[in-house]
Structure 1
Amino acid sequence: MSSATATSPVGTTRHRPPPDPGARWGWAMACVWLVFMLFPVLDLLQTPRPLSQQVAGWVVVTLFVAVYVHGFVIADLGWMQRRLPSWWPVAGTAVLLVLSAAGVALQGLSSMGLFIYTSAYAMFLAPLRLASVVVGALVATTAALAAFVDAFSGGAFFVPVLVATVVTMAVARVLEDRRDLFRELGEEMALVAERERVARDVHDVLGHSLTVVVAKAELAERLVDLDPERAKAEIASIRSLSREALGEVRATVSGLRVARLGDELASAREALTSAGIVADVPTDPDVVDPRRRIVVAWVLREAVTNVVRHSGASRCSVELGDARLVVADDGRGGPHAPGNGLRGIGERVRAAGGTLTVSCGPEGGTRLEVAW
């Protein structure tokens, strides 16, 4: 995908998150510290040496800066990183170790700062175990040179500087790894939530629509000989309902499906009537708080679907209030094991700050109540 947006399989346009400036320009921050390479450069310019050593010193400094910058640029540009083998940070660390040793051998004390750059490269880019070994070896080497080699006796100050730098980089590395872990977990949780949303919405849409289609098909089957014209009307209604259900499924998968309470009241009345259940359903959705109408609409859809499918009721009533919904029937009642539908609407209600109660009615049947 070369554009900034990508079309998902379900037809929705998902925008990539904007690039993180810290990740995009992190290499520049790493390269700022190359200003301290001025010391080996000045040493090469001011200290007389044989031509071969001068050339070797410039080659070492140039290659060192190139490998150091290359590593941080690659790390911040993901598309470039994917083109390289996974072991490239290890190779870069090894090259910097060799160049650091060569620089110290050629220039002495003025190049001991290369150990700090190599430690930074290893700590930020190499595997953590390898980085620990490399950093430990460089600290030990710096301390040994300052303590036991006269030419490096003035380099004792490099030891605390290197230790402080390593500790700072280690903390930064741990925090960065934690941040990446939390980001990955957040993405996984968002993906799971999206899958649950799609599964819940598809269940609610298909469960209700197919239940009504079955009820209407059974009615049309009974009427085909008794009242052919009405049977044709029921078949036409089935066709229309099927097309509507298909559109709802597509909208649900794409994240655009929104239940409307007025439509659900009319649909509930039609579903109950088609199933031969006397429906006492209000017509005015405005009595419900506008903030809660979508949730009430979803709950009403699932509750009526369960009445039509499972209750064996002859009558069903729906009551609406500002912060209340009650669906009661005179069917079989009894204990209810929550299925996907009840779990789904329970999640919706809890997310909206309400409570869902399913119990036996005072005169039998089932009573479902949602309240805030």
Structure 2
Amino acid sequence: MAQTRFRFALGDRSSWWDDPMIGHRGGPNKIGWPIFAVLFLLPFLVPVTRELATGGEPLWTRVLMALLVYGYGACYVVFPTVFRKPRQVKLTFGAVMLALGLLATLLVDTSPYILLYATATLAFLFPAGWAAILDTLALGAVAVVLLADGRIQTDGGDLISVGAITLAMFFMANLVRAVRRLELANQEIATLAVANERQRVARDLHDLLGHSLTTITVKAGLARRVLESSGDVGRAVEEIREVEGLTRSALSDVRLTVSEYREVSLAAELAGARAALRAAEIEADLPYAVDNVLPQLQSTFGYVLREAVTNVLRHSGAERVGVRFGRDWLEVADDGAGAEAAQGNGLRGLTERVGGVGGTLHSGPRPGGGWVVRAEVPEAEPPAVQAVRAEPAGGLA
């Protein structure tokens, strides 16, 4: 499943220069923002317009100043439209707006507050690193010009206020980015949770129905052979009764699997394996108790035993099967030759199950012939007194 990957770490410095969140959701509302922007620009545009209309400068000068001022204001109104544009477009737009803001601040006889429209816009439009550099350069340029023009005493306080507000906008923009990262992280977590749940249900149904249907097939075939060969109706009926019980049990297990309430018991799987192998007329060498297996591993090993026995019944053509287990391992070995065909979804699912508890699963041919499936989950801290482990079924003939 293809997935879009985002950097969710809030302290990821690489996002300061190439933030994938900027422009991802389109920025401010494209309908409501222009109304807000025009209202926010009125304290700047009204006095400037009045001054240009009544000023004594030449007409062409006032026209150029009007183009400068209204072009700067138009940039502030339309800047949300560039949020989804390529980086080059945003850089060009930001540079033009910043240049217009600097010129308006330096050429129009008004407070440095008008630079705030550009610095606040850059804080939201660019990644944090670029916004910090450009805003600092703009404020520094205005400070130098005010100092050279002798206006630092009168307008220096306003410039400091502009810097403080710009800094607040910078942190607000980064807070918005952080919230959007968390939103996307939650979306991806939800998507992964759904995918994992689907994978769990598919794996459980495969393990459940594969074993149950295989056992039902073997027992139904045995009942047919009994009727055809000896006509022993009593034994055939007994096998059919067991088939009926297996189908009811499988139906119940399917319901519990879908609702995630089903638990696998190693002891029950051992008893089921004994019955299935006996019905298939395969000689079984199985333990009679599971007390020496760690309790937290019995459910996982139950799945391993179920799938391994199912593969023996379906693929191996074996005549003999041996099962051994210790505190943290389980091994199923047979003398068949066709189990290699079983490499598929079942063993992949088992590998995931065993890996989920920190273990490993190995399946492959045995020296001398046959097939072996071994699951092992090493203990993090070995107990003070080691239990005597049974020998693996490596010597199975």
Quickly name the TM-score band, shorter chain normalised.
Answer: 0.5 to 0.7
More deviation, 193-202/182-191? 182-191
Correspondence for 2:182 = 179
Report the secondary structure of 1:282's partner residue: coil
CA distance in 1, matches of 2:318, 2:340: 16
What is residue 150 of structure 1 aligned with on the other side?
A: 109
1:265 maps to what in 2?
270
Given residue 294 of structure 1, which amino acid in structure 2 is its aligned partner? S
Asked if the contact 1:328/1:368 (under 8 Å) is kept, the reply is yes
After superposition, the Cα gap between the structure-2 partners of 1:337 and 1:274, relative to the gap in structure 1 and judged at 3 Å, is closer
- Match for residue 36 of structure 2 among 66, 78, 96: 96
Change in Cα spacing, 1:161 to 1:216, as seen in structure 2 (3 Å) is same
The whole-number CA distance in structure 2 between the counterparts of 1:306 and 1:337 is 6
1:365 deviates by 1.5
Shifted more, 224-233 versus 237-246: the winner is: 224-233
How do 1:204-223 residues align onto structure 2 when only pairs under 5 Å count?
Answer: 204-223=207-226
**CA offset at residue 159 of structure 1?**
3.7
Equivalent pairs counted in the alignment come to 277
Q: Secondary structure at the match of 2:29?
A: helix
SS in 1 for 2:318: coil
RMSD: 3.3
Tell me the TM-score normalized by structure 2: 0.61
Distance 2:161 2:348 in 1: 64
User: 1:87 and 1:175 mapped to 2: Cα distance?
Assistant: 14
The residue number in structure 2 matching 1:231 is: 236
Equivalents in 1 of 2:339, 2:321: separation in Å?
16
Partner residue in 2 for 1:303: 308
1:32-111 map, 5 Å: 89-105=29-45
State the alpha-carbon separation in 2 of the partners of residues 283 and 272 from structure 1: 15
Correspondence 1:355 to 2:360:
yes
Q: Is the 8 A contact 1:139 1:159 kept in 2?
A: no
Please give the secondary structure, in 2, of the residue aligned with 1:287: coil
Partners in 1 of 2:372 and 2:246 — Cα distance?
28
The structure-2 alpha-carbon separation of the partners of 1:87 and 1:171, relative to structure 1 and needing over 3 Å to count, comes to closer
Q: Provide the C-alpha distance between the structure 1 equivalents of 2:360 and 2:197, rounded to a whole number of angstroms.
A: 23
Tell me the amino acid that sits aligned with residue 92 of structure 1. Answer: G
- The question of whether the paired residues in 1 share the 8 Å contact of 2:208 and 2:250 is answered with yes
Equivalent residue number for residue 290 of structure 2: 285
Contact kept, 8 Å, 2:312 with 2:339, in 1: the verdict is no
Q: Is the 8 A contact 1:324 1:369 kept in 2?
A: yes
Preserved CA contact (<8 Å) 1:331 1:365: yes
Highest Rg: 1 or 2? 2
Please give the per-residue CA displacement for 1:22-46, whole angstroms capped at 9, x wherever unaligned: xxxxxxxxxxxxxxxxxxxxxxxxx
AA paired with 2:314?
Answer: R
- Give the CA deviation at 1:106: 5.1
Query: In structure 1, what is the equivalent of residue 173 of structure 2?
Result: 170
How many percent of aligned residue pairs carry the same amino acid? 38
Matched, 1:249 2:254: yes
Task: Give distance in 2, aligned partners of 1:351 and 1:156.
Answer: 59
Task: Give the whole-Å Cα distance in 2 for the aligned partners of 1:296 and 1:135.
Answer: 62
Work out whether residues 315 and 339 of structure 2, in 8 Å CA contact, stay in contact via their aligned partners in 1: no
Which amino acid counterpart does residue 184 of structure 1 have in structure 2? Q
Q: Does 2:191 correspond to 1:194?
A: no
Stretches of structure 2 that go unaligned for 5 or more consecutive residues are 1-25, 49-71, 113-154, 378-397
Q: Distance in 1 between matches of 2:28 and 2:101?
A: 26
- The match for 1:79 is none
The CA deviation at 1:180 is 2.9
Deviation at 1:347, TM superposition (A): 1.4
TM-score by length of 1: 0.65
* Alpha-carbon distance in structure 1 between the residues aligned to 2:102 and 2:40: 15
- Provide the secondary structure at the position in 1 that maps to 2:369: coil
Cα pair 2:292 2:326 within 8 Å, conserved: yes
CA contact (8 A) 2:27 2:83 kept: no
- 2:302 is aligned with 1:343: no
Tell me, which stretches of 5 or more residues in structure 1 are unaligned? Answer: 1-85, 109-114
Superposed CA deviations along residues 249-299 of structure 1, whole A, max 9, x for unmatched, are 121122222111111011000110111111222221111011111111000
Does structure 1 retain, via aligned residues, the 8 Å contact 2:315–2:341?
no
Q: Which amino acid aligns with 1:93?
A: W
